[in-house]
Amino acid sequence: MSLLDVARGAIARIREREAGPEALNAFLSVADPASLTVDAPTGPLAGVPIAVKDILATTDLPTTCGSRVLEGYRSPFEATAVRRARAAGAVVVGKTNMDEFAMGSSTENSAYGPTLNPHDRTRVPGGSSGGSAAAVAAGYVTMALGSDTGGSVRQPAAFCGVVGIKPTYGRVSRYGLVAYASSLDQVGTFGRTVTDAARLLQAVAGHDERDATSVDRPVPDYEKAVRRGVAGLVVGVPAEYDPDELDPEIRRLVNRALETLRACGAEVRRVSLPHTRYAIPTYYVIATAEASSNLSRYDGVRYGVRRGEGDLVSMYEGTRSRGLGAEVKRRIMLGTYALSAGYYDEYYGTAQRARLHIIDDFRRVFYGGADVLFTPTSPTPAFKLGERTSDPVQMYLSDVFTVTANLAGIPGLSLPIGRVGGLPVGGQVLAPWWDEERMLGVAGAIEESLGGSAR
């Protein structure tokens, strides 16, 4: 029995199922079992197989970001989060499918075809980290890494019935995380349980001098935090996250989870975050503006694929028009417009001011007595493949409850709280900056009280 047996078994399962009629298209590359190593045979994750979203740079497997423009691209260095997971003993079994450059909510924007939801293969797994969420839900791995710019860990976790954590901005290094919207991007973790997701977070969290936005603060014991209980805590329930049109079945599951928190000794209190209605437009102005700048590097010179003949401009045009997909182009155009002279203040400036109001809303409720907030993760369960691809605004609205945490930089977690029509539903715990521990304690209490009825 070798420490590598579990990971080799995981790879065999992935290869077998992904080659057959029940394939999920969760992986863009799978590791060669012969070349696996355990970097830390006595580490806390020694031998634990993990899946890594294809937006995190790895030296042993390609990093495509779900895009044609990076097809076959090999990074010369490794992302800090991956390096740290390996340093804890984890074994990377493959790179997971995703919406191209993490732009999307369904994994349908991948240039390599969509991932299917393991609970119902006619439905999306959510996105953009849909491959990682599906890999955990399908039982290929118990933990996975993803990235969350506006909900891309929490929303697919909800759709696939697993746990997803987006830490405080600055908690995990973004070094080697391909940039989409740098002021919002954060590496996150998936787990089958709250403890699994917390253990992977433990391994990857902490200051990194290679990322100037990572913060030098001690990393608490996250696994212990899961069991710390909720007695005496005040759980805020924001009115804006319970709109009239919310699916009554989802509301019922949220209320049931709140009931378990009350039974564990927490106080549940209605609160208000009045600027929530500006969150989606604010997010899409800021995210597209930052993306238009970050994605200018895919010019055919420095990375990956080169297309187009003749002069420099034809090479740029050929590479970008053929290498990038429709949603990515839409966002580059929107972002370029929002940043252009004459419109900069009207769009980007206004969005930045709205962002401050959204941050202020959170500050007020957290400093006003709420220890954490509890909301649905997404307004609906997993939707059908193709159902929203022709309507970007409908697609963008599936992030309405998740983008605020990225705009404010606070931590958020999604965990399973039951099913509607056989499909998993997620509940979201939001906590103040740096208080992942309290967030994990609340999630741990809900998970334990709901037991099997959450899944």
* Residue ranges binding ligand GLN (CB under 6 A): 102-105, 128, 148-152, 180, 287, 399
Name the residue whose CB lies closest to ligand GLN.
152
3-state SS assignment for residue 326: helix
**CA nearest to 223, candidates 188, 195, 191, 197:** 195
Place of tokens 């999306």: 124
By beta-carbon proximity to ligand GLN, the closer residue of 55 and 92 is 55
Among 29, 75, 106, 128, the one annotated catalytic:
128
3-state SS assignment for residue 223: helix
Rounded Cα distance, 6 and 209, in Å: 33
In whole angstroms, how close is the CB of 295 to ligand GLN at the nearest point? 13
In whole angstroms, how close is the CB of 308 to ligand GLN at the nearest point? 28
By beta-carbon proximity to ligand GLN, the closer residue of 128 and 173 is 128
Helices 194-204 and 436-450 sit at what angle, rounded to 10 degrees?
160
Residue type, 61: L
Rounded Cα distance, 294 and 178, in Å: 9
In whole angstroms, how close is the CB of 287 to ligand GLN at the nearest point? 5
**449 flagged as catalytic:** no
Among 132, 152, 292, 398, the one annotated catalytic:
152
By beta-carbon proximity to ligand GLN, the closer residue of 6 and 184 is 184
By beta-carbon proximity to ligand GLN, the closer residue of 104 and 418 is 104
In whole angstroms, how close is the CB of 102 to ligand GLN at the nearest point? 4
Starting at the earlier edge strand, list the strands of the sheet with 163-166. Answer: 27-30, 91-96, 49-53, 143-148, 186-191, 163-166, 412-420, 423-430, 372-376, 234-238, 267-271
Q: Cis link prior to 128 (omega < 30° from 0)?
A: yes
Find all residues with CB under 8 Å of 410, minimum gap 6, and list them: 168, 362, 430, 431, 432, 433
**214 flagged as catalytic:** no
**152 flagged as catalytic:** yes
In whole angstroms, how close is the CB of 132 to ligand GLN at the nearest point? 12
By beta-carbon proximity to ligand GLN, the closer residue of 152 and 294 is 152
The helix or strand, by DSSP H or E, that contains position 314, with its residue range, turns out to be helix 312-323
Catalytic site positions = 53, 128, 152
